[in-house]
Amino acid sequence: MATIEDRGTSIRVCWRLGGTRDGARVSAPFVGADKTAVRKLAEQAKRLVEAYQHRITRDEVLRIVLGEEAAPQPGDITLAEWVKMWCADRTPVNPDTPGLDDIQQDTLDGYMQVLRLRVLPYLGHKRLSELADLDTGERALKEWMRALRASRVRRCKSNPAGRPISAQSVRAAHAVLHMVLAAAVPRYMPLNPLARHGGSKKSRTGLPKPVRFEGMFLTPGEVERIHAHCDRQIADMWLVLVRTGLRLGELLVLRVQDVTVEGDEPEVRVRRALKHGGRIGLPKSATSIRAVTVDSEVAVLLARRCKGKGPRELVFPCPGKKSGERTWRENNLYRRHWLPSIAAAMRCEQHPPPEPPKPARGPRRKLRPDEVSTCGCPGVLRRRPRLHDGRHTHATDLIRAGWELHDVQKRLGHASPLTTLTIYGHAWDGPKRAQLDELAERRRQRLMADDEAA
């Protein structure tokens, strides 16, 4: 609901774009010597804002009320209205099957969260015809991009200002809006204003450059160091991840019936995946439904974990749960088990970190995950990998062992070989240390020859 505020020298009409609590706060001020006339203008503006359900900008209100242009057509559909229609069309009837455009429910939920947080508060009130206009649409999208790039996220007590939003998050919001607007062509708009026209390679809205992906590829020594210090409840899990390249969500819902350890080709069959909120659904894409061959050591491990269990029981259940499928919560797994294991691998037995101070009363607290050794002794882990980096490490090991691109893509379940090449293309270059050593030796020999000649 729009409100009128008397500010002494002016009277302002205030509202939130779209009428929602998370909409951007907007105000339209009216100033004049005749307070009665100014209040009438403010009341007229308030009625106008409410007539358009708060989906009108400050400049539009001022131009209409002050008689500078005609009011927008009420029949025009706004971006917020189109997003509701777009989402309704793509919501799966059955959560286990993809909806329109093959969008799964958890993926659609992620799109809608991006739209609610980073698009609709800025552009939800805009009409699609206005966004399609070459002048007003481009100006509105540029203003949205500038506001988004200037926003800050993850505010907390220790950092009330928050950190700047990442370029990846900005590009993700741009990609989701691009997809939503493309679905409105040609029914509601003649063209997609976010599409690049005329063969242009540069975005017209000021989109930031993509940040190069930097995965962590562990050495065999680092893998073994982590495994030796892993919590006993996740040690087997880490070994399977780094030997198969499965995604964590695929591993956590692996059932006994999905595992074959007998025969010449033991394998695990990926048929399900753990989604956000603890729901179990289909894997990430159609190519993610696959069979992954395992080595003999992993086969023995899986046989041990499957022994005495029914076909539908989980191979890696969460301990302590008494009902349901007993699936892990990824946040709990990461904070209570993975971070302490990594911290243990980063502590040196000869040079442990200082003990926490002894309190006046009660026992001494345990070491935090960030309290590790700084001695630099050999064998001590110096990096903080994620569980997902086991997948990156496995892919790199396959490539350096001579696997072809298609085989690596198929084993990892990537939808396109381009994805595999983008993430792991550096691994096909092979190790360069021997070549660099040879180059240094040649340089040393030339220096020695020059010295002898002199």
pLDDT tens for each residue of 389-401: 999 999 999 998 8
In this structure, are 346 and 291 located in the same domain?
yes
**Residue 210, in any domain of the structure:** no
Which amino acid, 166? S
Name the 3-class secondary structure at 185: coil
In this structure, are 22 and 91 located in the same domain?
no
Determine how β-strand 25-30 pairs with β-strand 280-281: unpaired
Picking from 194, 192, 212, the residue whose alpha carbon sits closest to that of residue 203 is: 194
- Mean residue pLDDT across the chain: 86
- Roughly how many angstroms between the first and final C-alpha of the chain, as a whole number? 90
If one compares 72 and 454, the residue with the highest pLDDT of the two is 454
**Residue 201, in any domain of the structure:** no
In this structure, are 391 and 285 located in the same domain?
yes
Name the 3-class secondary structure at 255: strand
In this structure, are 110 and 20 located in the same domain?
no
In this structure, are 298 and 373 located in the same domain?
yes
If one compares 266 and 201, the residue with the highest pLDDT of the two is 266
Q: Is 101 left (phi over 0), alpha (psi -120 to 50) or beta?
A: left
In this structure, are 311 and 396 located in the same domain?
yes
* 143-161 per-position pLDDT tens digit: 999 989 988 887 766 677 7
Sign of CA pseudo-dihedral 200, 175, 284, 104: negative
The model's pTM: 0.71
* 401-427 per-position pLDDT tens digit: 889 999 999 999 998 999 898 888 877
pLDDT at position 322 is 53
Q: Which two tokens stand for residue 221?
A: 């020594």
In this structure, are 175 and 234 located in the same domain?
no
Contacts of 95 (CB under 8 A, 6+ apart): 105, 279, 281
Using pLDDT thresholds of 50, 70 and 90, give the confidence band for residue 69: very low
**Residue 315, in any domain of the structure:** yes
Which amino acid, 424? Y
Task: Flag whether pLDDT at 214 surpasses 80.
Answer: no
Task: Flag whether pLDDT at 70 surpasses 50.
Answer: no
Name beta bridge partners: 260.
267
**Residue 93, in any domain of the structure:** yes
In this structure, are 279 and 374 located in the same domain?
yes
In this structure, are 410 and 446 located in the same domain?
yes
What percent of the chain has a predicted confidence (pLDDT) above 90? 41
Boundary-marking domain end, from 65, 99, 114: 65
Query: Is cis: bond before 340, omega within 30 of 0?
Result: no
pLDDT at position 324 is 46
Number of domains in the chain: 3
Q: Which two tokens stand for residue 351?
A: 């040079």
In this structure, are 168 and 285 located in the same domain?
no
The domain of 319 spans 216-352+367-454
Q: Which two tokens stand for residue 153?
A: 């996220």
Using pLDDT thresholds of 50, 70 and 90, give the confidence band for residue 102: confident
In this structure, are 88 and 166 located in the same domain?
yes
**Residue 361, in any domain of the structure:** no
**Residue 200, in any domain of the structure:** no
Name the 3-class secondary structure at 442: helix
| CATH code, domain carrying 417 | 1.10.443.10
Tell me how far the alpha carbon of residue 127 is from its chain's centroid: 29
Q: Determine which of 177-191, 252-266, 426-440 has the lowest per-residue pLDDT on average.
A: 426-440
**Residue 187, in any domain of the structure:** no
**Residue 191, in any domain of the structure:** no
In this structure, are 102 and 248 located in the same domain?
no
